Amino acid sequence: MKISLSILSCNSIEEAINKVNNTNTDYLHLDVMDGMFVPNTSYNIEEIKYIISNSNKKIDAHFMVNDPIKYLNELNEYNLEYFTFHVELDNVKYLINKIKENNYKVGLSIKPNTDINVLKEYLDDIDLILVMSVEPGMGGQTFINSTVDRISEIKNLIGNRNIKIAVDGGINNNTIKLINNADIAVVGSYITNSTNYQEKIDILRSNNE
Ligand code: DX5
Ligand code: ZN
């Protein structure tokens, strides 16, 4: 399983990037919140550009925003591995196509209480499904246990399509054992609350062999 490290709970962006750069995390998970789709805000455009420019990791960007197009336009010169937005928005098909025009891999994120069947019509157009195991909007929350069954149900929906499943929220050395059938674990506070990021990543990897 790959690790995508979220720096949302970090106070200093510069310090967080330096620490993440010195680990073997597979991705840096960049949580963008606009204060509208979710109540909190995270980074402004300049901070987002700074993070992307100074990270030596592939960027797994998670847009918890009402207007992904605004970010697409601002970041079209910047390299993202995944551009993920929420399936709860309108015009999902249009947004998927615009993201593809920027040559990004497309991710759809789904909130804990959203019916997974809303994903069906997009399965032939996306590269990743980001299954929220907490209500989006902040780090440090507790893993929602019903996510375990949802992952299996989504895997059934996907069938043999080449779509990665990522799980996001409340992942730690215990809950990671519950999501063995996912491809990517997004982890924030379990790692960033510690003084040794790599040590926590090693524990996560050892708990998921
Ligand atoms: C929550 C974010 C998550 C969060 C994960 O809205 O999408 O990526 O930062 O942080 P932890 O691992 O602390 O739940
Ligand atoms: Zn996230």
Per-residue model confidence (pLDDT) at position 124: 98
Q: How far is the CA of 30 from the centre of ligand 1 (A)?
A: 10
Pocket test for ligand 1, best of 31, 40, 43, 130 (most atoms within 8 A of CB): 31
Which protein residue's CA is at the shortest distance from atom 4 of ligand 1?
139
Residue pair 201/23 in contact by the 8 Å Cβ criterion: yes
pLDDT tens for 120-144 read 999 999 999 999 999 999 999 999 9
Contact 185, 169 (CB under 8 A): no
If you measure from the C-alpha of residue 156 to the centroid of ligand 2, how many angstroms do you get, rounded to a whole number?
A: 23
**Is the separation of the CB atoms in 188 and 25 below 8 Å?**
no
Q: What is the mean pLDDT of residues 81-106?
A: 98
In the chain, the percentage of residues whose pLDDT exceeds 90 is 99
pLDDT at 166 over 90: yes
Say what the pLDDT of residue 49 is.
Answer: 98
Give the pLDDT of residue 92: 98
Instruction: Identify whether the C-beta of residue 45 lies closer than 8 Å to the C-beta of residue 82.
Output: no
pLDDT at 88 over 80: yes
Atom 12 of ligand 1 has which residue's CA nearest to it?
188
Query: Mind giving me the DSSP string for 88-124?
Result: TSS-HHHHHHHHHHTTPEEEEEE-TTS-GGGGGGGTT
For 42: left if phi > 0, alpha if psi spans -120 to 50, otherwise beta; the answer is: alpha
Q: Which residues line ion ligand 2, judged by CB < 5 Å?
A: 31, 62, 168
What's the whole-number mean pLDDT along residues 2-18?
Answer: 97
Enter the tokens of residue 107.
């991710």
What is the Å distance from ligand 1's center to 5 Cα?
Answer: 9
Atom of ligand 1 minimally distant from the CA of 169: 14
Would you name the residues annotated as active-site residues?
31, 168
Residue 209 confidence (pLDDT) above 80: no
Is 90 exceeded by the pLDDT of residue 158?
yes
> Given this model, what pLDDT does residue 95 score?
98
Burial class (CB in 10 A: 0-12, 13-18, 19+), 43: middle
Which numbered atom of ligand 1 lies nearest the CA of 187?
A: 12
Tens digits of per-residue pLDDT, 32-43?
A: 999 999 999 999
107 CB near ligand 1 (under 6 Å): no
| Alpha carbons 96 and 100: distance in angstroms, whole number | 6
Report which secondary-structure segment, H or E, holds 202. helix 197-206
What is the pTM assigned to this prediction? 0.98
Q: What is the pLDDT of residue 170?
A: 98
- Cα–Cα distances (Å) from 51 to 18, 41, 92, in that order, read 10, 16, 26
Q: What are phi and psi of 199, to 5 degrees?
A: -60, -40
| Whole-number pLDDT of residue 177 | 97
Give the confidence band of 51 by pLDDT, cuts at 50, 70, 90. very high
d(CA 207, CA 175): 9
C-alpha 62 to ligand 2 mean position (Å): 5
Amino acid at 137: G
pLDDT at 14 exceeding the cut of 90: yes
Average pLDDT score over the chain: 97
Identify the pLDDT of residue 208. 84
Stretch 38-50: mean pLDDT: 98
